[in-house]
Structure formats: structure tokens, C-alpha cells
């Protein structure tokens, strides 16, 4: 099973990704985590990723696709995966060649996302400034909402109210996967 989790920052993608990984016995991969780890590297690409992420911008499609497809080529992802944070643009969704079973959209309001993110104390993330968070929320509406419609039209979308209790959300996702 190859799943994608889509939602605004703070929607609960990593929470559900880790829970689903345990239940379904398939690995969870966060594109944001991959990019943040690469941004720590003392390379040209690492410095570029760090500057881009800290400013709250998206990594360009060509670089994003190459990095994600490289990660998913590893043996641990051959039987399936839960991917969080990719694709973020329609061109990424159109070009992505790894096959997708279902796309789970965790829908939360901007207000709820900001409230959740304000409660995080993650000092490791230089991109968690209010300005960068607001920019990523704006980018979600501009770039990623069309991706949701792309997968809806393909009949692959499961839309979940992400403002419910965590176990309820998990149950609804699992029910959606059975259909």
C-alpha cells in the first residue's frame, strides 16, 4: 500500500503517519524531515535547502521529485510507504512515478493549524517562526489545494476532518482505506 498524507502544517500528518505505520506495518517518510536533515549537510544542496526552508518557501519541483524518488528507491519502501508532505504541487503529482494507492487529506482550518503550531516547542526548527509558518500556510492554499483536487478527480482521495480526536481520525482513515 502506497499512501500520501496531505494537509496544512499542523494538520496531524506526522501523528497519523506514525500511527498508521505501526498499524499497517509500512514505513512512514516525512519529506520535511528528509529536507531538514539534508539542510544540515555542509554541501551546496544542503545550504540551498536550509536557506529555502528557513525562508518558508517550497523546494522547486525538479529537486523535490529527484530527492523523494531517490529515497523511495530504497528497499524498505518497495512494499509500500506512508509519505507526508509530497507532492505539494500539481506538477509534482503529475510527474511522481512511484504509484499511489490512496491520498489522505487531513482537513483543518488555518486558525486550528496556527493554534496547534503555537503550542509546539521545537527549537530545532529555524523555519518555525510565525512569519515562515504563515508563508507555508499561504503556499498550501496556493500550491497544494489544487493537488487535493487532482487526486479527488482521480478517485484516490480520502478526506478526513482533522480537527477530531486522534483515535477518531485514525479510525476514519482505516475505514476509508477499506473502501
Q: Is 19 annotated as a binding residue?
A: no
Q: Is 97 annotated as a binding residue?
A: no
Q: Is 31 annotated as a binding residue?
A: yes
Q: Is 116 annotated as a binding residue?
A: no
Q: Is 164 annotated as a binding residue?
A: yes
Q: Beta strands of the chain (E only): which ranges?
A: 2-6, 28-30, 81-84, 102-107, 157-161
Q: Is 15 annotated as a binding residue?
A: yes
Q: Is 11 annotated as a binding residue?
A: yes
Q: Is 12 annotated as a binding residue?
A: yes
Q: Is 156 annotated as a binding residue?
A: no
Q: Is 120 annotated as a binding residue?
A: yes
List, in order, residues 6 or more apart from 2 with CB less than 8 Å away: 80, 81, 83, 98, 99, 100, 101
Residue 97, C-alpha cell as written in the block: 512515478
Q: Is 24 annotated as a binding residue?
A: no
Q: Is 102 annotated as a binding residue?
A: no
Q: Is 170 annotated as a binding residue?
A: no
Q: Is 35 annotated as a binding residue?
A: no
List, in order, residues 6 or more apart from 47 with CB less than 8 Å away: 39
Hey, CA dihedral for 79, 67, 17, 99, is it positive or negative?
A: negative
Compute the distance between CA of residue 63 and CA of residue 59 in angstroms, rounded to an integer. Answer: 7
Q: Is 10 annotated as a binding residue?
A: yes
Contact 93, 39 (CB under 8 A): no
| Residue list, annotated binding site for AMP | 31, 36, 57-59, 85-88, 92, 125, 136
- The annotated binding site for ATP is made up of 10-15, 120, 164
- Binding-site residues, in ranges, read 10-15, 31, 36, 57-59, 85-88, 92, 120, 125, 136, 164
Amino acid at each position: 500500500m502506497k499512501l500520501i498524507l496531505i494537509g496544512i502544517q499542523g494538520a496531524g500528518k506526522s501523528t497519523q503517519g506514525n500511527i498508521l505505520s505501526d498499524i499497517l506495518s509500512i514505513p512512514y517518510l516525512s519529506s520535511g524531515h528528509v529536507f531538514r536533515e539534508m539542510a544540515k549537510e555542509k554541501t551546496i544542496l544542503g545550504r540551498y535547502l536550509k536557506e529555502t526552508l528557513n525562508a518558508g518557501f517550497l523546494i522547486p519541483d525538479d529537486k523535490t521529485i529527484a530527492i523523494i524518488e531517490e529515497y523511495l528507491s530504497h528497499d524498505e519502501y518497495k512494499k509500500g510507504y506512508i509519505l507526508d508532505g509530497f507532492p505539494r504541487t500539481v506538477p509534482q503529482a503529475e510527474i511522481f512515478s512511484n504509484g499511489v494507492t490512496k491520498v489522505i487529506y487531513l482537513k483543518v482550518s488555518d486558525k486550528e493549524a496556527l493554534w496547534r503550531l503555537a503550542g509546539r516547542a521545537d527549537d530545532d526548527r529555524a523555519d518555525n517562526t510565525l512569519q515562515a509558518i504563515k508563508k507555508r500556510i499561504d503556499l498550501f492554499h496556493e500550491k497544494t489545494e489544487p493537488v487535493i483536487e487532482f487526486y479527488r478527480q482521480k478517485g484516490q482521495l480520502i478526506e478526513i476532518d482533522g480537527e477530531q480526536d486522534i483515535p477518531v481520525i485514525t479510525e476514519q482513515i482505516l475505514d476509508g482505506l477499506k473502501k
